[in-house]
Amino acid sequence: MIPAARPEIGDEERAAVDRVMRSGMLAQGPEVAAFETEFSSIVGGMHSVAVNSGTSALHMAFLAAGVGPGDEVIVPSFSFAATANSVALAGATPVFVDIELDYFATDPSAIEAAITPRTKAIMPVHLYGHPANLVAIKAIAEKHGLLLFEDAAQAHAASVDGIPVGAWGIAGSFSFYPTKNMTSGEGGMITTPSDEVARLSRVLRNQGMERRYENEVVGFNTRMTDIHAAIGRVQLTKLAGWTAKRQENAAFLSANLEGVVTPPTAPGAVHVFHQYTIRVVDHDRDAFAEQLTQRGVGSGVYYPTPIHRLPSFRLDLDLPITEVATTQVLSLPVYPSLSQGELDQIVEAVNAVAKAGA
Ligand SMILES: *Cc1c(COP(=O)(O)O)cnc(C)c1O
């Protein structure tokens, strides 16, 4: 069985963990500081602040930039729940908008239509590793005086017009969950051009204090450990090679799959293929996935229910493209360790199921 995801942990990661264990400095320390400095290099030199998850990164970034009660934040409903949870956890209200079907990305015209006097921020999601239309969305943010956040949890080193994701607005948030393009076990990173947002993020992750026992605000413990940072530092050195392999695998799949809609890349965008997501249009998607499983090919549906319809939000909204996407999307294996034999097997299985009808 070819699994839907396969995290890569090598000897270097194990050695890095051992080094930290031997040092006796386990909590946030020199490895975290080094990881932050090194991560800044893939976001065009922004400040980087490491935390214990991608969700914490989103949450701390909103609080540090002053998003809170009474504010509305425009987000897509076609995403992982953490996108909207973080808005709600900051005390603000997520306002859900529709996507563009081609790139599964937040639709700029839907954003503009959702702006009210209470709108404080926009947060597109770079879903599956394909960057949202940042040129258009940044222009909307500037025109209306709104803060631009990026949920870049799935898009390490993706870019638009040569500018990396996480560097377009007031803050970007990345995740290092095991199935993401790089991992630290669990972990997240806030990126920001703002000295003050960076400082406040550091304060908030550490009980609200910059200097020990001089707590200035009510804060959290969302620190990253040196153990996790050591893993992340090793993975960061491998990211460029892995991304190239993901792009190569995706190109092979797109050149050979038949009977399904393969994922295009927008002009000017660099897609880092966290997921390789096809649309199953002529068959029942779930039956299609079941047939793939029987042929030894794992797949995933991200996400079967739009966030606004989850019991945690339960809103009655009309987001037709989002509804179509939830019934059609199917993510195939694309990770760097796939062999040519496995790629061939994926192509044969998909083409056979598409042809047979499911
Ligand atoms: C993974 C993910 C998150 C949350 O990251 P965690 O590290 O799991 O907390 C947020 N948004 C999106 C789009 C994600 O895929």
Global pTM value: 0.98
DSSP states of 146-182? -EEEEE-TT-TT-EETTEETTSSSSEEEEE--TTSSS
Which of helix, strand or coil describes residue 99? strand
Topology match between the domains 11-234 and 240-356: no
Pocket of ligand 1, candidates 73, 85, 154, 307: which has the most ligand atoms within 8 Å of its Cβ, to mutate?
A: 154
For the chain, domain boundaries: 11-234, 240-356
Those residues whose C-beta lies under 8 Å from the C-beta of residue 90, and which sit 6 or more positions away, are: 59, 62, 63, 67, 68
Strands 159-160 and 119-122: unpaired
Please tell me if the CB atom of residue 277 comes closer than 6 angstroms to any atom of ligand 1. Answer: no
Nearest CA to ligand 1 atom 7: 54
Report d(CA 298, CA 62) in Å as an integer. 36
Q: Which two tokens stand for residue 315?
A: 């809103």
Residue 358, pLDDT score: 46
Residue 276, pLDDT score: 98
Pocket of ligand 1, candidates 51, 52, 53, 55: which has the most ligand atoms within 8 Å of its Cβ, to mutate?
A: 55
Pocket of ligand 1, candidates 75, 80, 123, 149: which has the most ligand atoms within 8 Å of its Cβ, to mutate?
A: 80
Please tell me if the CB atom of residue 82 comes closer than 6 angstroms to any atom of ligand 1. Answer: yes
Residue 357, pLDDT score: 62
Report d(CA 63, CA 84) in Å as an integer. 14
- Helices 195-205 and 54-64 pack at an angle, to 10 degrees, of 120
Q: Residue 93 phi/psi, 5° resolution?
A: -110, 120
Q: Which two tokens stand for residue 18?
A: 């051992």
Those residues whose C-beta lies under 8 Å from the C-beta of residue 221, and which sit 6 or more positions away, are: 205, 206, 207
Architecture of domain 240-356: Alpha-Beta Complex (3.90)
Instruction: Output the CA 22–ligand 1 centroid distance in Å.
Output: 31
Atom of ligand 1 nearest to the CA of 82: 10
Report d(CA 299, CA 287) in Å as an integer. 12
Q: How far is CA 260 from CA 202, 321, 322, in A?
A: 46, 18, 18
Instruction: Output the CA 352–ligand 1 centroid distance in Å.
Output: 33
Please tell me if the CB atom of residue 54 comes closer than 6 angstroms to any atom of ligand 1. Answer: yes
Instruction: Output the CA 52–ligand 1 centroid distance in Å.
Output: 12
pLDDT along the chain (358 residues), means of 10: 94 97 94 98 96 98 98 98 98 98 96 98 98 98 98 98 98 97 98 98 96 92 98 98 98 98 98 98 96 98 98 97 98 98 98 85
Q: How far is CA 272 from CA 250, 324, 335, in A?
A: 9, 24, 11
Please tell me if the CB atom of residue 55 comes closer than 6 angstroms to any atom of ligand 1. Answer: yes
For the domain spanning 11-234, the CATH number is 3.40.640.10
Please tell me if the CB atom of residue 188 comes closer than 6 angstroms to any atom of ligand 1. Answer: yes
Residue 303, pLDDT score: 96
Instruction: Output the CA 57–ligand 1 centroid distance in Å.
Output: 9
